[in-house]
């Protein structure tokens, strides 16, 4: 944050927070909170999870894998997309550990990593106290 913007933010802090008595100290505490949150491994994982879900095609793939492992050609038929497009989406889902793939003969099959998906949902629930 540049010096001018920092001065503007510090100047506003105590006007929007009734318990603030020292805007400089409050700013330092908020900066530390931000740094700690950015380094939170759960948030990094949730970010990867969110990015993996940020496509209707990937949501369709996850739903298609919910009840059955599938080969890439089945996913091509489901999505009516090319193998290269399907592979692009599968890589993103694998990076988020939401699916796992394995070779069986000439074909690659994919299955849902249900425990990881449940773990992400638990983290979301715990972080935001949805209970």
Q: What is the pLDDT of residues 92-131, one digit of tens each?
A: 999 999 999 999 999 999 999 999 889 888 888 887 775 5
pLDDT at residue 130, rounded to an integer: 56
Q: What's the DSSP call for residue 54? A: S
- Give CB contacts under 8 A, 24+ apart, made by 62-65: 62/93, 62/98, 62/99, 62/112, 62/117, 65/99, 65/110, 65/111, 65/112
Please, which residues have CB within 8 angstroms of residue 113's CB and are 6 or more apart in sequence? 97, 98, 99, 100
Looking at the chain, which residues constitute the CATH 1.10.10.10 domain(s)?
A: 42-122
Query: For 31-83, how does the pLDDT look when each residue is reduced to its tens digit (9 = 90+)?
Result: 899 888 888 777 777 888 888 889 999 999 999 999 899 999 999 999 999 99
Q: Are strands 70-71 and 107-112 parallel, antiparallel or unpaired?
A: antiparallel
Torsion of CA 113, 117, 119, 120, to 10 degrees: 140
Alpha helices in 54-96 (DSSP H): 56-65, 72-79, 83-95
CATH code, residues 42-122 = 1.10.10.10
Per the model's pLDDT, the better-predicted residue between 6 and 74 turns out to be 74
**Model pLDDT, residue 131:** 55
pLDDT (mean) for 3-28:
81
pLDDT score recorded for residue 38: 82
Distance CA 131, CA 113 (A): 24
Helix H or strand E encompassing 107: strand 107-112
Model's pTM, two decimal places? Answer: 0.69
Looking at residue 6, what is its pLDDT?
A: 82
Strand partners, 100: 111
């Amino acid at each position: 944050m540049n010096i001018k913007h920092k001065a503007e933010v510090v100047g506003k802090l105590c006007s929007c927070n009734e318990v603030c008595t020292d805007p400089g100290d409050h700013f330092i505490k908020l900066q530390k909170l931000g740094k700690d949150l950015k380094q939170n491994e759960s948030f990094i994982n949730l970010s990867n999870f969110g990015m993996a879900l940020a496509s209707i095609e990937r949501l369709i793939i996850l739903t298609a894998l919910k009840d059955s492992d599938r080969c890439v050609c089945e996913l091509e038929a489901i999505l009516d997309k090319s193998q290269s497009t399907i592979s692009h989406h599968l890589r993103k889902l694998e990076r988020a550990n939401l699916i796992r793939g394995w070779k069986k003969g000439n074909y690659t099959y994919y299955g849902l990593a249900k425990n990881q998906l449940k773990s992400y949902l638990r983290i979301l629930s715990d972080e935001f106290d949805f209970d």
